[in-house]
A and B are shown apart, each in its own frame.
Chain A
Amino acid sequence: MTLASDPGNRSPGGLLWSPTAGFAAVGLNARRRTAGMRTDYIKEQKQAHGRKVLAVLPIQYPKELLTAMDVLAVELWGPPGAPRGPGAGRIQAYVCAVARNAVAFVQAGGTQDVDGYLYPHACDSIQGLATLIPSFGGADKPALHYLNPKGGPRPSSRKFVVAELRDLARKLEGITGVSLVADRLEWAIGLHREIDGLRLQLLEGRSRLALADRALYEVLRRGEWLWPEDHLAELKEAAGGLAEGGEGAVKQKGVPLLLTGIVPEPMTIFDELADLGAYVAADDYAAVGRRVVRKPLVRKDDPVETLAWLMFAYPPCPTRSTSLAERMDYLNRLVQQSGAQGVVIHTVKFCEPELFDVAGIKAHFGAQDVPVLFLESELESELAGQTVTRLEAFVEMVAQRRKS
């Protein structure tokens, strides 16, 4: 498959591409190209590989299961930009853009090539979206639901996840025509562990990677729609750029920051940070770092049970957990390991799970004298001027502290 090797247009203040990665896609034209690429890619996956395709809503779902059943997951995070078309007004403006944009996009035919939809249970808004379309229309393909249990692992929820995974496998069978094979699931789990291992290397070794944030995130986010083996290949290539020599070889000189939030949109935020002389030293985006399992795998005899174990092994996420302290500990470790000197909360407006934690994050890092910036996005296609000002002021502030 082809990767975009054309440097593309330079957006104001945007970094093009990194020599080590050799590819990137920046600017609006490239965004269109990526979307076009995605449609072509999906078609190719269906025709050449005979795979079924599911549009998957945020956040967390058993991707290993889909891979094992030869189903391509194409995640739907927005897309960014103002919602258009007949579905644009179906969900009120005071609901987050992730849900609002999704319904508009689906109804406008943006997912016409898929064979079905998978709605994991993330929050009230996704919950609502997951019944709005199947019950009241907007897409005619089958809807599958995966009910993520809330709260940490309890005997009740561990047992439940096993049953829910088997149930999902049965439903997937209805779409693929074939049943789940244990060996394939073992293989898929291994594959995704390898992927996570590389993603982790890239995220944790950030300071030693001579890659612009924008380029790195492009690679990481392509995992939202690439067939995992293709994604693995790209990750390996990017990881090849990790400086030899371990700790000593720091390549990133900018102000290190921790970014936490739902999804990095618009992606131009990374260009902006680079312009300001900052970089993402640690990532806690629900779409990125929060879905990378960092614990060593605990294998069970039955791969479905292994997968069930995995579903509880993710970093703490406010959509699911009952402990604020656990999340603060985790964020603390991220800041410490990465040397981040500031925290940027990059939420989507109206996102309840993220917003409820803001006070806790401010208090927690305030007590340690680590500055926190709060940004709200509406999944706009370009960064708002106000957001740029805030980012600038924040980086100016953190950079000043660095000096003194």
Chain B
Amino acid sequence: MITRRLQYELIKHVGGPFLMELQGLQKRLKGRRGPRPDSPFGPPLESIGKLKDLMTRHYLEGRYADGAVPVAWVTSGFPVELLRTLGFHSVYPENHAALCGVQRLCSEYSDAAEKVGYSRSLCSYARTDIGGVLLDKTPVGRLPRPDLLACCTNICQTVLYWYRCLADHFKVPLVLIDTPYVYGAKDSAEHHQQYVKDQLEELMAVAERVSGRRASEERLLEVARLSYEGTMLWGECLAESTHRPAPWTGFDGFFHIGPIVALRGGAECNAYYRHLLDELRDRVRRGVGGIKEERYRLLWDNLPIWFNVREMSTLLAENRFNIVVTTYTNAWAEAGKRMDPTDPINSAARSYTHVILNEDLDRRLELMSRLAGDYQVDGALLHSDRSCKPYSIGQVDLRDKLAERAGIKSLLLEADHNDLRAYSTEQGNTRLQAFMESFA
């Protein structure tokens, strides 16, 4: 197989700016040998090396995927297990866009999209992706052309509008899994669930046609099992941060989430999290924290501010604040609660419907309060993401309600997940500083 052929190149190729960024981060924390004496962070995670390899391999595989295997461009909340069963190589434009965001490439790519008429007020992941496609540019070498676009509205409706533009550009089929929003109840209504199940069946038909393969029940069960296992392992990794001090930071989590998003349902993803879990448990045993001195613990809500991770994490760490839980990273673990790998279709219908962004604000508040309690946080950072409406609407109220219900104070920080032009670091730092001072 292709992956095998490339393994040789991998040892040499620590390619991909994403990984160079991680390397850079590591270097900054580590220097040549061990962390800088004045670094506010704890020793960097050893697992980072393996993470690099895993993600490099994924992107490198991608370069040679089209023509060799069926390729799908997939939204982060899509029931990808069904595609994996058919041997699709999955590309995650959101993951790729985040990588570009870290690299501060969004401005350039978005400009290209804006020039043809995409408004700057649109989701910055979409602008990064569409711009990259128009420019035929990417920091990961090459993205394979899709044979299929796979979109699930459980994270937002924007992905539908975005993927519809991609479908028009690439002239390939777009499969949609429309997950009705869960209003006013803990569980999705029966006919809503039936709708999702029916769509999953329709999806299989299209995917089989596009791939020219038949899905085997056995393989589907296997992938579902691996997906469930990976989800639980990721959850366990996150749960290590309930300890004091937390063995890693929420910002670390933003990077280590890569495999569960992009490689879910595969054995390597799970092997990686086992490795990471071991390291985290070891650090907990030895009392090693993600930051040197953990005085205050925070919850982060909404997407990361990709272009500012380094600066923000440093500022917080220097002030002895650690992000010990995020609703973003937690989302891929939370899904596990509704999964049943022995019944893949029903499980997918249920677990992919009941994700944080597809459940009402009562549920959101419950979740955030629970996380705040479980992780014993002192406060919350609510990233008010200007180009992510579904995650940001309700935060103004949530800030007050969290204070009432969980007794924690929050900072509503206006920024953007990918577009640095929408954020003033100077102003943002001032707000963060003032927030941190208020804990004294």
Given known A-B contacts A124-B156, A358-B119, A92 and B181 have beta carbons under 8 A apart: no
Given A136-B361, A154-B202, A359-B113, 11 more pairs with CB closer than 8 A: A92-B384, A94-B389, A128-B393, A131-B183, A132-B393, A155-B202, A156-B201, A321-B164, A322-B176, A324-B164, A352-B157
**With A94-B386, A135-B361 known to touch, is A359 a contact of B116 (CB < 8 Å)?**
yes
**Of the candidates A132, A163, A362, A374, which one forms a contact with B394 in the assembled complex, judged by CB atoms under 8 Å apart?**
A132
B23 interface hit (Cβ, 8 Å): no
Q: Please give, as numbers and ranges, the residues of chain A lying within 8 Å of B360 by CB-CB distance.
A: 131, 134-135
Chain B residues whose CB sits within 8 angstroms of the CB of A157 once the complex forms? 178, 195, 199
| Interface contact A322-B160, CB-CB below 8 Å | yes
Chain A proximity mask over B160-188: 1 for CB below 8 Å, otherwise 0 = 11111101100000101010110110000
With a cutoff of 8 Å between Cβ atoms, the chain A residues found around residue B414 in the complex are: 92
A167 surroundings in chain B (CB, below 8 A) = 189, 191
* 7 sampled A-B residue pairs with Cβ under 8 A: A91-B396, A92-B396, A136-B361, A151-B178, A160-B192, A357-B161, A363-B116
The 8 closest A-B pairs by CB, nearest first: A128-B393, A156-B198, A359-B117, A163-B191, A356-B161, A160-B195, A324-B168, A135-B361
Among A88-132, those with CB < 8 Å from B are: 89-92, 94-95, 99, 121, 123-125, 127-132
* Contact across chains for B397 and A132 when beta carbons are under 8 A apart: yes
Q: Does B138 contact A (CB under 8 A)?
A: no
Question: What residues of chain A have their CB less than 8 Å away from a CB belonging to chain B?
Answer: 89-92, 94-95, 99, 121, 123-125, 127-132, 134-136, 143, 145, 147, 149-151, 154-157, 159-160, 163-164, 167, 318-319, 321-325, 349-350, 352-353, 355-363, 374
Give the residue name and chain of the A residue nearest to B422 (CB): A94
B362: nearest residue on chain A (CB-CB)?
A: A135
A349 touches B121 (CB 8 A): yes
Contact yes or no, A145 B116, CB < 8 A = no
Are B389 and A95 in contact (CB-based, < 8 A)?
yes
Docked pose: A239 CA to B156 CA in angstroms: 42
B103 within 8 A of A: no
Question: B273 to nearest A CB, angstroms?
Answer: 31
Q: Check A160–B194 contact: CB distance below 8 A.
A: yes
Residues A360 and B178 in contact in the complex (CB < 8 Å), given A134-B183, A160-B198: no
In the complex, per-residue mask of B194-208: 1 if CB is within 8 Å of any chain A CB, else 0: 110011011000000
Question: Which residues in A have their C-beta under 8 angstroms from that of B392?
Answer: 92, 94-95
Looking at A99, A151, A363, the one whose CB has the most chain B CB atoms below 10 A away is A151
A355 to B387: give the CA distance in the assembly, Å.
13
Q: Name the A residues within 8 Å of B156 (CB-CB).
A: 124
Contacts of B397 in A (CB 8 A): 90, 132, 136
Give the residues in chain B near A147, CB-CB below 8 Å: 180-181, 192
A369 to chain B, nearest CB (A): 17
Interface membership of B64, Cβ < 8 A: no
Do A356 and B118 have beta carbons less than 8 Å apart? Answer: yes
Minimum CB–CB distance for B327 against chain A, Å: 16
**Interface residue SS majority, chain A:** helix
> Which residue of B is nearest A131, CB measured?
B360
Chain B residues closer than 8 Å to A156, beta-carbon distance: 195, 198-199, 201-202
Q: From A321, which residue of chain B is reached at the shortest CB distance? A: B164
Chain B's nearest CB lies how many Å from the CB of A377? 13
Task: Give every chain B residue within 8 A of A132 (Cβ-Cβ).
Answer: 361, 393-394, 397
Distance, CA A149 to CA B157, complexed state (A): 11
Question: Knowing A157-B178, A323-B167, A355-B118 touch, does A128 contact B394 (C-beta < 8 A)?
Answer: yes
Please indicate the chain B residues that have their CB under 8 angstroms from the CB of A361 in the complex.
Answer: 117
- Determine the distance from Cα of A186 to Cα of B90 in the docked complex, in whole angstroms: 48
- Complex CA gap A160/B190 in Å reads 11
Known contacts being A92-B386, A124-B389, is A163 close to B194, with CB within 8 Å?
yes
B176 touches A151 (CB 8 A): yes
From known contacts A95-B393, A356-B164, A358-B119, infer whether A127 and B195 are also in contact, taking CB-CB under 8 Å.
no
Which residues of B, 367-410, contact A by the 8 Å Cβ criterion?
Answer: 384, 386-387, 389-390, 392-397, 401
Contact B202 A359 (CB under 8 A): no
B35 to chain A, nearest CB (A): 38
**B164 touching A355, Cβ below 8 Å:** no
Cβ-defined contact, A131 with B122, below 8 A: no
Query: Which of A135, A319, A361 has the most chain B CB within a 10 Å cutoff?
Result: A135
Option from B117, B195, B361, B365 in Cβ contact (under 8 Å) with A159: B195
A151–B149 Cα distance when bound, in Å, is 14
Question: In the complex, what residue of chain B is closest to A363 when comparing beta carbons?
Answer: B116
A304 → chain B closest CB, angstroms: 13
Q: Contact string, B279-300, partner A, CB cutoff 8 A, digits 1/0?
A: 0000000000000000000000
* Closest A residue to B359 using CB positions: A131
Known: A150-B160, A358-B119, A362-B117. A324 touches B195 (CB 8 A): no
Q: CA of A323 to CA of B169 in the docked complex: distance in angstroms?
A: 11
Interface residue tally of chain B, by bracket?
35 or more
Contact A150 B117 (CB under 8 A): no
List the A residue with the shortest CB-CB distance to B117: A359
Report Cα–Cα, A95/B394, bound state, in Å: 11
Q: Is B153 an interface residue (CB 8 A)?
A: yes
Please report the C-alpha to C-alpha distance between residue A324 and residue B117 in the assembled complex, in whole angstroms.
Answer: 15
Instruction: With A92-B396, A145-B184, A353-B161 as known contacts, state yes or no: A128 contacts B116, CB within 8 Å.
Output: no
Looking at B164, B201, B386, B395, which has the most chain A CB atoms within 10 Å of its CB? B164
Given A92-B384, A322-B160, are A130 and B165 neighbors across the interface (CB < 8 Å)? no
Does chain A have a CB within 8 A of B158?
yes
**Closest partner residue, chain A, to B189 (CB atom):** A167
> Residues of B contacting A90 with CB < 8 Å?
396-397
| Interface contact B158-A352, CB-CB below 8 Å | yes
Once A131-B361, A324-B164 are accepted as A-B contacts, the answer to whether A123 and B157 lie under 8 Å apart by CB is yes
Q: How far apart are A141's CB and chain B's nearest CB, in angstroms?
A: 14
A120 to B142: give the CA distance in the assembly, Å: 41
Distance A322 CA – B397 CA, assembled complex (angstroms): 33
Q: Is the CB of A352 within 8 A of B118?
A: no
Q: How far is the CB of B353 from chain A (nearest CB, A)?
A: 11
Task: Report B-chain residues with C-beta under 8 Å of the C-beta of A123.
Answer: 157
List B contacts of A149 (CB < 8 A): 178, 180, 195
CB proximity of A267 to chain B, nearest CB, Å: 24
Most buried by A among B113, B181, B192: B181
Given contacts A149-B195, A150-B176, A159-B195, contact A325 B168 (CB under 8 A): yes
- In whole angstroms, what is the CA distance A154 to B126 when docked? 26
* Contact B181–A352 (Cβ < 8 Å): no
B232 at the interface (CB under 8 A from A): no
Query: Is the pair B199, A154 in contact by a Cβ cutoff of 8 Å?
Result: yes
Which residues of the other chain, B, contact A91 by a CB distance below 8 angstroms? 393, 396
How distant is B406 from chain A, measured CB to nearest CB, in Å?
15
- B123 interface residue per 8 A CB criterion: yes
CB-CB nearest in chain A for B155: A124
Give the CA-CA distance A319 to B153 in the complex, in Å.
12
> Closest CB of chain A to B151's CB: distance in Å?
8
Q: In whole angstroms, how far apart are the Cα atoms of A91 and B158 in the complex?
A: 18
Distance in angstroms from A157 CB to nearest chain B CB is: 7
Are B122 and A145 interface neighbours, CB within 8 A? Answer: no
By beta carbon, the residue of chain A nearest B161 is A356
- List which B347-362 residues lie within 8 A (CB) of chain A: 360-362
* 8 Å CB contact of A319 from B157, B174, B195, B389: B157
Q: How far is the CA of A129 from the CA of B384 in the complex (A)?
A: 16
A163 to B162, CA, bound (A): 29
Q: Does the CB pair A352–B123 fall under 8 Å? A: yes
Nearest CB of chain A from residue B234's CB, rounded to whole Å: 26
